[in-house]
Amino acid sequence: MPIQYYIFFCLTLFSIGVIGVLTRRNAIIVFMCVELMLNAVNLLLVAFSKMHHAAGLKIAATSTAGIDAQIFVFFIMVVAAAEVSVGLAIIVMMFRNTHSIDINFLNRLKN
Amino acid sequence: MSTLEILFYALSAFAVISAAMVLISKNPIHSVLWLILVFFAISGHYILLNAQFLAIVNIIVYAGAIMVLFLFVIMLMNVKSDNEPQKKLFTKFIGVLSGGSLLTLLIALVKQTVQLEGKEVMMKEGTIGLIHPLGKALFSDYVVPFEISSVLFLSAMVGAVIIGKK
Helical residues (DSSP H) of A1-111, grouped into ranges:
3-23, 27-59, 67-98
Q: Across the interface, do B110 and A78 touch by the CB < 8 Å criterion?
A: no
**Around B126, how many Cα atoms within 13 Å sit in the side-chain half-sphere?**
32
> What is the interface pTM, i.e. ipTM, of the complex?
0.90
- Tell whether the model's pLDDT for residue A53 goes beyond 90: no
Q: Where are the alpha helices (DSSP H) in B25-88?
A: 28-48, 52-57, 67-77
- Determine the pLDDT at residue A110: 63
Domain count, chain A: 1
Residues of B in Cβ contact (< 8 Å) with A32: 22, 31-32, 35, 70
Q: Give CA–CA dist A24/A30, Å, rounded.
A: 7
The CATH number covering residue A28 comes to 1.10.287.3510
Question: Tell me, what's the pLDDT at B107?
Answer: 92
Nearest CA in chain A to B124: A50
By three-state DSSP, how is residue A2 classified?
A: strand
- Distance of alpha carbon B14 from alpha carbon B60, whole angstroms: 20
- Please indicate whether, in this complex, the C-beta atoms of A67 and B92 are within 8 angstroms of each other: no
Instruction: Report DSSP state, residue A26.
Output: B
For residue B41, what pLDDT band results from cuts at 50, 70 and 90?
A: very high
B45-101: per-residue pLDDT in tens? Answer: 999 988 899 999 999 998 888 999 899 888 888 766 556 667 788 888 899 999 999
Taking only residues 41 to 100 of chain A, the set having a beta carbon closer than 8 angstroms to any beta carbon of chain B reads 42-43, 46-47, 49-51, 53-55, 57, 64-68, 70-71, 73-75, 77-86, 88-93, 95, 100
Cβ(B96)–Cβ(B90) below 8 Å? no
Q: Which of A32-46, A49-63, B26-40 has the lowest mean pLDDT?
A: A49-63
- Asked if B152 reaches chain A (Cβ–Cβ under 8 Å), the answer is yes
Cα–Cα distance, B163 to A97 (Å, whole number): 12
- Amino acid identity of residue B138, one-letter, is L
Per-residue model confidence (pLDDT) at position B81: 58
> Residues 57..116 of B with a Cβ closer than 8 Å to A: which?
57-58, 61-62, 65-66, 69-70, 73-74, 76-77, 79, 84-87, 91-92, 94-96, 98-100, 102-103, 106-107, 110-111, 116
pLDDT at A43: 93
B49, A67: Cβ pair inside 8 Å?
no
Rg of chain A taking only CA atoms, in angstroms: 19
Per-residue pLDDT at B83: 62
pLDDT tens-place string over residues B154-166: 999 999 899 888 7
- What stretches of chain B adopt beta strand conformation (E)? none
Amino acid at B145: P
Contact B156, A84 (CB under 8 A): no
Residue A13 in contact with partner chain B when CB distance is under 8 A: yes
| pLDDT for residue B119 | 80
Question: How many CB atoms neighbour CB B129 within 10 A?
Answer: 24
Q: Which residue did the predictor score with more confidence, B9 or A109? A: B9
Domain span including residue A10: 3-110
**Helix (H/G/I), strand (E/B), else coil: B90:** helix
Of the partner residues B20, B122, B163, the one whose CB lies closest to the CB of residue A50? B122
| % of residues, chain B, pLDDT over 90 | 44
Across the interface, of B91, B96, B153, the residue whose CB is closest to A82 is: B153
- d(CA A89, CA B135) in angstroms, rounded, equals 32
Residues B41 and B15: beta-carbon distance below 8 Å: yes
The domain spans of chain B are 1-104, 130-166
| Partner-chain residue, chosen from B23, B28, B45, that has the shortest CB–CB distance to A19 | B23
d(CA A39, CA A77): 9
Which CATH number is B1-104 given?
Answer: 1.20.120.1200
Determine the average pLDDT of the residues in B12-34.
91
Q: Is B120 helix (H, G, I), strand (E, B) or coil?
A: strand
**pLDDT given for residue A101 in this prediction:** 78
Tell me the pLDDT tens digit for each residue of B114-135.
Answer: 888 878 777 888 788 888 888 8
Q: Looking at residues A32-60, what average pLDDT do you find?
A: 89
Q: Which residues contact B40 (CB under 8 A, 6 or more apart)?
A: B59, B63
